Structure 1
Amino acid sequence: MIQGAKSFVLLLAVLAACVTAEQADEQPLIFPTEENSTEQPAAALDASADKPRPAPLAKCAGEKEMCKPPAGCALFYADDDEENLQTCILIPANETTNATLGLCCENVLSNRIKQLLLTDDNRDQLSPGYNTGPELGFISAADLSASSDNGKSFTDKLETLEAELKKSGIKVESDTPSAGHLRVFNTTNEARELSLKALRLAAATSALTNRLGLSNPNGELRQVDLQNSRLGESCPPVPVCPVIGGKYRLHDGTCSNPRRSWIGRATSPMQRLLPAHYDDGVQVPRSARDGGPLPSPRLISIQLSTDGHRAPQDRRLTALVADFGQFLDHDLVQSPSFQLRGGGGIQCCSQDGASVLPPHQRHPQCMPIEIPFDDPFFSRFRQGCMNFVRTMPALTHNCSLGAINQMNSVSHWFDGSTIYGSEGQAARNLVGPRGTLLNNGNRGSLALLPAQNGGCTRRRQTENPNFCFVAGDNRVNEQPLISSLHTLLMREHNRVAGILAAMHPEYSDDAVYQETRRIVIAQLQHIAYNEFLPVVLGRRFMETYGLLPLASGHSFDFNPNYDASVTNEFAAAAYRLHTLVRGDLKLSNNAGDSRIPLRDTLNSPQVLLWPDAGDALLSGQCSRPLGAFDHVFSEEMTQHLFQGRGGFGLDILSLNIQRGRDHGLPGYNSYRKLCGLKRARDFADLTDTIRPEALLVLRRIYRSVDDIDLYVGGISERRSSGALLGHTFLCLVGDQFARLKKGDRFFYDLANQPSSFSADQLNEIRKTSLARIICDNSVGVTRLQPLVFWQQDDARNPIVSCDSALIPRMSLEPWIPEVPNT
């Protein structure tokens, strides 16, 4: 482990898009990691709760400390030393009410990174993967032409094969786990056509590699100029940004970086911190170090997550952490799986699931997961194959050759795309009168999302089998808590839009919509960096990365040289927080508590048609413990995911492992080195980070320490002090959120941008909390703890009325003189 005395430097790839993937592999990334796990048994936590609390202070003792509502001290709440948060008198008692107690904490007045390894902004700032390796001296027109012919031949054969598969009826059947999974990865015809062009370039790369005898196509072919070749005809046009204005984001993510307008565009590729690891250098998934196959993901899942029924819990945190984390994930990334032309899922297993389809009937984008014959669960259903289809590859802005890189079908920015969409026409279809978002009318005094027919699963005979919601993201129906958060933010948008429209009757409908969207995105960003990320990353880690939100004033962090695009490592491994998910959903209201098994809720949002069910779900998740972040998953996730008519589902742990291999992620050992640890020579070297019980399993499953999948290694690590994640995932997730904060010219607290808020407006946005959003947009929630990601604490995080000063309200008065610029 890195010792505290060692000087801290920012991880090399964070904010350093100028570093090539090969360079990054040679230079370690170093960041602060504290002592080992902070996890405590339940008895210890209960005992600590019984300790006497010190009396509240009339005035905070520290010179820099102030008495604030709990959300104002959310950054400090995760600190292990509880004495850092002394209670204080926020509002004195009067004749009719008791004193209101706040918390003492410092103002954060700087979010500067303590030390940057790379500070030369004049260097070439191309993203990893765009500029890797020496330029070839000469490639003839004949070579390019031949490789182009090879690429076209590949896609022509693919279309012929797909027609034959459809004719033979080889496709995903309805009401199966694969059909349920497919709905989560629904995509557009436009994305599919872009992906076919990327596959054509991949086939051309393979042909050119063989033709020229190249050893490293990813490095040697990246700089080949395709603009004047037939391959260059596939290149997407460079977005042209508006010359005047720029106060409001474009929905598709373009023009958020003024120097490189394509960065963050929906349907563009993710970037990489390390070069892709494919056996052929282009797209064939990696083998084990000894040349044999890697162990089956399902075999790993069986042996690693051996106690799923136990569902370990984190008693400090609430289950809402997992739900908000998933909502945030949907805002940042969607990796669409390949589908048949004209729609329909690709089937990789025999119809009975007993075996993999033979090669002549198997789509080239199939990557099925082998299920061991003695599987303790799936063998009961005679399942030997789990369907898995590869993620669509994407075109780079310059159509470069080299290894495939996977598509992000939504905008890469933290821009509320879950609410508003990542495509212009789809976004316009969600807008109602006076800048509001469409809804299906009032139910329980508050509106629900618009309804659509088709695509959702019938779970109960009395429910509408076709009922689904419509939102900015097509995963809105994945599970009811996601639907509830979508509903909550739609209501918040309409609440703010109603106030703005009344304040400014002269505003056009579009002006009301755009200004409201700008405010709601800012609220979401503040909640994420002020409340959510301190739970996941820890305050001290955030401080070193410069991620702390300021208590006052503006920041000056934006640097157009930073590439904020989502990294493949983040999307395909580090931010897959499924181990946090509990096996059921809890509803809490005046009638009591009830639970619904997770298998009965996926792609089945009909529960929200019950009166005030969304409020009851949010209340329930705010009052129950979070699942622990470790290698143990709920059996609802490893046996019943998207369960169909057969009584079994998919296994999320197996899918995540296979997804990492599909995306060409190098092994866990490579990321240890990238994140500042020594590369392990053998399994014994992993004792510094891996839990002992997990290490025993890894020794048994993998033949080499270099074979360990990144996802498996990451979930097997001990938690870093003050954080939810272990060393390596902390590094990779921290990297991504640093990019999103410092590479986005629209980030909410920035100064000197067309989109910048005034000082007074920014102060009001800082009053935002998820508790306030819930209180303002719910009927059934009238009392709540101010910090909803933390379990209620009578002294520091008490259950209070929604009218309490401990859950401050944001005022829109500073927007009275606002002049929209659309």
Structure 2
Amino acid sequence: MMSFVIFFPFFMIIFVSNIAYADYYYTGYGGIVRSVPTYHRIHNVSPYINPYIDAGAPKITYRYDPKRDVRYPKYRTVLIDDPRRPRIETLQKETYIRSPFGSRKVIINEEKRIIQSDSNQLEQQQAQSHQSKQFFPKTRRKFNHLENQEGEEENFSADRSIDRQQIRCQTRNGYSGICLSKGECYYMYGDLNYLDREQCRTNVNGRQIVGVCCPNDPDFTPNKRFDIPYALTIPRWPRINLRIDSNQLNQALKQADLDVVRFFALEELFVGQMGQIQVAFTPASFLQQMFGPADQNQQLSNLWGFRTLQVTRALGRQLDLSPLEMRDGLSRHSLKGTPYDQYCIRSRPCDPEYRYRTIDGNCNNLVHPLWGKSLSQFNRLLPPEYSDGISELRISVTGVPLPTPRHLSVNVLRTSNSNNARFADRWNVLFMQWGQFIDHDITLGSSTRASNGAGLLCCNRTNALGPLIHPACRPIYIESNDPFYSRFNRRCNNFVRNAIGPKNNCEIGYREQSNVITAFIDGSMIYGNTYNRSRLVRSFRNGQLKTQGRNWLPFDTMNNSLACSIPQSTGNRCIFSGDVRVNQQFGLIALQLLFLREHNRLARILKELNPHWDDETLFQEARKIVGAQIQHITYNEFLPEALGRNVIRHHRISLKPNGYEFGYNYELNPSILNEFAAAAFRWHTLVQKYYRLRNDRNQDYREYEMHKIFNNPSHIYGNGALDDLIRGVLFHKSERFDSIFTEDIKNLLFAQQNQRFGLDLMAINIQRGRDHGIPTYNQIRFICGLKPFNSFREMRNSLQDRNDWQHLERTYSHVNDIDFWIGGTLERPLNEGLLGPTFSCIVGEQFRRLKYGDRFWYENGRMSHSFSERQLSEIRRATLARIICNNGDNFHRIQPLAMLPISEQNQETDCSSIPQIDLTAWISNTRSG
């Protein structure tokens, strides 16, 4: 929730006195208790102190030189005085403050405080650097910044000299920098053409190569900046104050209990007596299995979410509320202190000194421990759009039903095949694959199941089951003249709503959905997102993950995976990993295998360097490095291509060329946005029809159609198949980002070898957005500062295909009905990037939150878990090309920027020319890392 503040001229200093303190205790595993100050709101500005920094932080005065700060002249800083501390001696010094906006010279008044201990002995402590809150008027965003300690620049230079010999250089527009390999500095340029203009020569692994001059200034721009056409403004959500007394609430609780009993009786009729359960190994059952097998914790969480929704419905009927009153009036009321209190989500105690991420994401944020945790709710930028205000799928603004998802898929989106596919110029198949790999690290919904764990059936062989159907069913209806399904007399595709998730704060209100996995880029698809699954992937020997055979991902030894389409007669089995979707297709399996091997390679070397480390330390340190590499590759190689350099700068998610990041903000919620997960990050238009195997002589020798290998990894179990698959995704291009989709996912999703039809993923995307209550395309445009369209014709200059507005006009009743995923997919991309302005707005905002809202972000400094500066400089050498070189079966040559096709600017090179992380930076004399 945004805080609205009054901004003062930059030269004014706000002195805060009369500070009130309240004790909040964070009792960790080691019994640590800390006191956190709270402050009265003064001049509408709320200062904050991080709970893991001592409450007696120093008073800091930032005095800016206006000549040096002409770009951001309106910064404000709250000064903090602490009357509790006696005998204060003030020192003054000059230093630099580091922030996402570069380095600035400031004057710091730093106090030495003498603190009296409980034993009445006086101790002198140098006050820790204090994270002050600053406000930026353009976006009204809040960032935390730490000033660097005296001598940091000298220490950093010393560390870098240990790392490697620096070859200094200068860019064409006068920025000083260091000559690095292309892969190490791509985030600064975001375009191969600019890299070629800034060539220099550097040494990598003892060899001289052509590199690029990497500027030291994070605000460097290689090209003329263009104005970003949007500016996200998160509005205050509407709120209606409703008075609900205890009698009304208790009556609603009793009614909800009766409704739950009736529901289960009805479900027993549908599932137990009428047999409305899915048949295994059908497209519908495979779609259900993509959400994971039946899980007791998920079932309990979903039941609690369902109960709270029933309480909301009961109150709405009792008070005769309108849909808007139910949505905006009931969602602030809590069930704490009621009999339902026992079901409220609670966090485990947090240890602020614990050096590693928890497996389930709990306590990443010490103030809001549930933010980003697995099985916690998705976040939202806007309130949901439900027709009844709380749960039912929306209808047209004209009051008529919306067009069916399949009708939109057929009449607005087009189908590609091997004859009319349009391939991207800039991105290969691996680029698409990395996007899905990251998606599987940060998003997974929870599908509704029957109370016995069975999958729900909403369609029979041809049609929907009729009025007697499970309440979670929202089948996708198919018209009789459908150009594809009519051949098979198919009138319905199965669709089950995602489960109702409980709210983190025990509130009632509209339907929310849970993210089953952690929100953070932490490698959870490798390590699992629950402690039970994590134990299943670990060997508990020398920090290693389980493998089998030729250092492969372990098989599903129970062979009980309903998400596996390998015929049992073959004797082969599917794969088991931290993510339930690992068997979906070849590219996912390849990346999972590469990073499993990378983890084990790191753990093995760390064991050699630190023979005194135990299994747990080796596992956690290797996991920490792998997670940092995934973060770095995503922000260095993937996002600059997806968003473009100017959009990256607009959202302030560019990486730092050196030193630590001090932008962590514990009031920024990193939980995945529903608008992101259910629409803006669904880039299925990039999916290619084929996976091709390519030998080391650069010849394709086999190709597999996508729909024939869903959930069947057995085709790449042979010797050398991994390397040949990787060569194929490196060489071949993905499809373009447009309104054309391959038939393998539009008509044949999860079709098995003996089946002639499957599901339509495009229709599923549209229905999923409505299931989650995602606001419309025009509503999202409005909060992104883009002009909403008043007519379909107005859209023509904003679309890739100028004629698409006519398809939309023939399909929708009103321009305000357009689904967000449809509108965003049809948009014309911004300069430099993959996406149009509306998708860029949401995707950029989400990745900003994943950087500044993650306490364990790999660049963060001055924390108990931070990498040393030398370690951080080594992490910055990580590239996807190096991961492939290190962990392929017998891989020797690759292009430096692995997500881009081989070209004149991105030529194939020997693996010895790709920088390598030096793990001697992790040599330690302690039993922990």
TM > 0.5 fold call: yes
Q: Tell me if 1:772 matches 2:882.
A: yes
User: Map of 1:14-53 to 2, 5 A cutoff?
Assistant: none
Q: Is the 8 A contact 1:553 1:759 kept in 2?
A: yes
Per-residue deviation, residues 396-434 of structure 1 (Å, max 9, x unmatched): 122211111111011111111111111112212221143
User: Map of 1:805-816 to 2, 5 A cutoff?
Assistant: 807-816=914-923
User: Map of 1:281-680 to 2, 5 A cutoff?
Assistant: 281-309=389-417, 310-350=420-460, 352=461, 354-360=462-468, 362-443=469-550, 446-452=551-557, 453-455=559-561, 464=570, 467-590=573-696, 592-593=699-700, 594-644=702-752, 645-680=754-789
Instruction: Tell me the equivalent position of 1:238.
Output: 347
Per-residue deviation, residues 419-475 of structure 1 (Å, max 9, x unmatched): 1111112212221143434334342xx433344313267767697366111111111
Q: Is the 8 A contact 1:252 1:265 kept in 2?
A: yes
Q: Is the 8 A contact 1:348 1:363 kept in 2?
A: yes
Residues in 1 aligned to 2:555 and 2:606: alpha-carbon distance in whole angstroms: 23
Instruction: Tell me the equivalent position of 1:49.
Output: none
The counterpart of 1:221, out of the listed 330, 340, 364, is: 330
Stretch deviating more after TM superposition (577-586 or 639-648): 639-648
1:630, CA displacement in angstroms?
1.2
1:77, CA displacement in angstroms?
4.7
For 2:766, the aligned partner's letter is: I
For 1:569, the aligned partner's letter is: E
Q: Is the 8 A contact 1:582 1:626 kept in 2?
A: yes
Q: Tell me if 1:145 matches 2:255.
A: no
Stretch deviating more after TM superposition (632-641 or 167-176): 167-176
1:554, CA displacement in angstroms?
0.5
Residues in 1 aligned to 2:333 and 2:673: alpha-carbon distance in whole angstroms: 23
State the secondary structure of the residue aligned to 1:163.
Answer: helix
1:128, CA displacement in angstroms?
9.3
Q: Tell me if 1:716 matches 2:826.
A: yes
Per-residue deviation, residues 264-319 of structure 1 (Å, max 9, x unmatched): 11111101101001011110110011111100110111112224222221122111
State the secondary structure of the residue aligned to 1:178.
Answer: helix
The counterpart of 1:72, out of the listed 156, 180, 184, is: 184
User: How many residues matched?
Assistant: 754
Residues in 2 aligned to 1:110 and 1:554: alpha-carbon distance in whole angstroms: 16
Residues in 1 aligned to 2:211 and 2:735: alpha-carbon distance in whole angstroms: 29
Residues in 1 aligned to 2:494 and 2:231: alpha-carbon distance in whole angstroms: 44
Per-residue deviation, residues 355-389 of structure 1 (Å, max 9, x unmatched): 111222x1100011111110010111110001000
Instruction: Tell me the equivalent position of 2:38.
Output: none
For 2:539, the aligned partner's letter is: G
Residues in 2 aligned to 1:406 and 1:781: alpha-carbon distance in whole angstroms: 43
Structure 1 residues 413, 111: closer, same or farther in 2, change over 3 A?
Answer: farther
Q: Is the 8 A contact 1:202 1:401 kept in 2?
A: yes
Q: Is the 8 A contact 2:360 2:518 kept in 1?
A: yes
1:602, CA displacement in angstroms?
1.0
Instruction: Tell me the equivalent position of 2:290.
Output: 184
State the secondary structure of the residue aligned to 2:386.
Answer: coil
The counterpart of 2:262, out of the listed 157, 164, 167, is: 157
For 2:628, the aligned partner's letter is: A
User: Map of 1:81-160 to 2, 5 A cutoff?
Assistant: 82=194, 85-91=197-203, 100-109=209-218, 133-136=239-242, 138-160=243-265
Residues in 2 aligned to 1:380 and 1:118: alpha-carbon distance in whole angstroms: 46
Per-residue deviation, residues 329-380 of structure 1 (Å, max 9, x unmatched): 0100100211122322100112x1x2111222x1100011111110010111
1:733, CA displacement in angstroms?
0.6
Q: Is the 8 A contact 2:614 2:927 kept in 1?
A: no
State the secondary structure of the residue aligned to 2:185.
Answer: helix
For 2:593, the aligned partner's letter is: T
Structure 1 residues 248, 715: closer, same or farther in 2, change over 3 A?
Answer: same
For 2:715, the aligned partner's letter is: V
Bigger Rg, structure 1 or 2: 2
Residues in 1 aligned to 2:375 and 2:824: alpha-carbon distance in whole angstroms: 27
1:688, CA displacement in angstroms?
4.3
TM-score computed with the length of structure 2 as normaliser = 0.77
For 1:612, the aligned partner's letter is: G
Per-residue deviation, residues 587-617 of structure 1 (Å, max 9, x unmatched): 1123731210001111111123111322221
Instruction: Tell me the equivalent position of 1:40.
Output: none
Structure 1 residues 426, 435: closer, same or farther in 2, change over 3 A?
Answer: farther
For 1:449, the aligned partner's letter is: P
Instruction: Tell me the equivalent position of 1:781.
Output: 891
Residues in 1 aligned to 2:415 and 2:298: alpha-carbon distance in whole angstroms: 40
Structure number with the bigger relative contact order (C-alpha 8 A, sep ≥ 6) is: 1
Unmatched runs of 5 consecutive residues or more in structure 2: 1-70, 76-99, 101-137, 142-167, 222-226
Stretch deviating more after TM superposition (218-227 or 666-675): 218-227
Instruction: Tell me the equivalent position of 1:730.
Output: 840
Structure 1 residues 302, 562: closer, same or farther in 2, change over 3 A?
Answer: same
For 2:343, the aligned partner's letter is: S
Q: Is the 8 A contact 1:538 1:723 kept in 2?
A: yes
Residues in 2 aligned to 1:400 and 1:341: alpha-carbon distance in whole angstroms: 24
Residues in 2 aligned to 1:580 and 1:799: alpha-carbon distance in whole angstroms: 24
Instruction: Tell me the equivalent position of 2:853.
Output: 743
Instruction: Tell me the equivalent position of 2:280.
Output: 174
Q: Is the 8 A contact 1:434 1:497 kept in 2?
A: no
1:490, CA displacement in angstroms?
0.6
Per-residue deviation, residues 70-105 of structure 1 (Å, max 9, x unmatched): 1123124533864773333335999xx9x6222234
1:139, CA displacement in angstroms?
1.3
For 1:160, the aligned partner's letter is: A
Q: Is the 8 A contact 2:685 2:735 kept in 1?
A: yes
Q: Is the 8 A contact 1:319 1:624 kept in 2?
A: yes
Residues in 1 aligned to 2:235 and 2:358: alpha-carbon distance in whole angstroms: 25
Instruction: Tell me the equivalent position of 2:26.
Output: none
Residues in 2 aligned to 1:284 and 1:270: alpha-carbon distance in whole angstroms: 18
After superposition, the CA RMSD in angstroms is: 3.0
1:60, CA displacement in angstroms?
5.5
Stretch deviating more after TM superposition (301-310 or 808-817): 301-310
The counterpart of 1:204, out of the listed 296, 311, 328, is: 311
Q: Is the 8 A contact 1:630 1:715 kept in 2?
A: yes
Residues in 2 aligned to 1:235 and 1:413: alpha-carbon distance in whole angstroms: 23
For 2:721, the aligned partner's letter is: A
1:183, CA displacement in angstroms?
1.5
Q: Is the 8 A contact 1:456 1:465 kept in 2?
A: no
Q: Is the 8 A contact 2:205 2:912 kept in 1?
A: no
Q: Is the 8 A contact 1:631 1:694 kept in 2?
A: no
State the secondary structure of the residue aligned to 2:200.
Answer: strand
Instruction: Tell me the equivalent position of 1:41.
Output: none
For 2:588, the aligned partner's letter is: I
Higher strand content, 1 or 2: 2
For 1:717, the aligned partner's letter is: E
Residues in 1 aligned to 2:367 and 2:563: alpha-carbon distance in whole angstroms: 45
Structure 1 residues 109, 646: closer, same or farther in 2, change over 3 A?
Answer: closer
Q: Is the 8 A contact 2:566 2:572 kept in 1?
A: no
Residues in 2 aligned to 1:728 and 1:818: alpha-carbon distance in whole angstroms: 51
Instruction: Tell me the equivalent position of 1:124.
Output: none
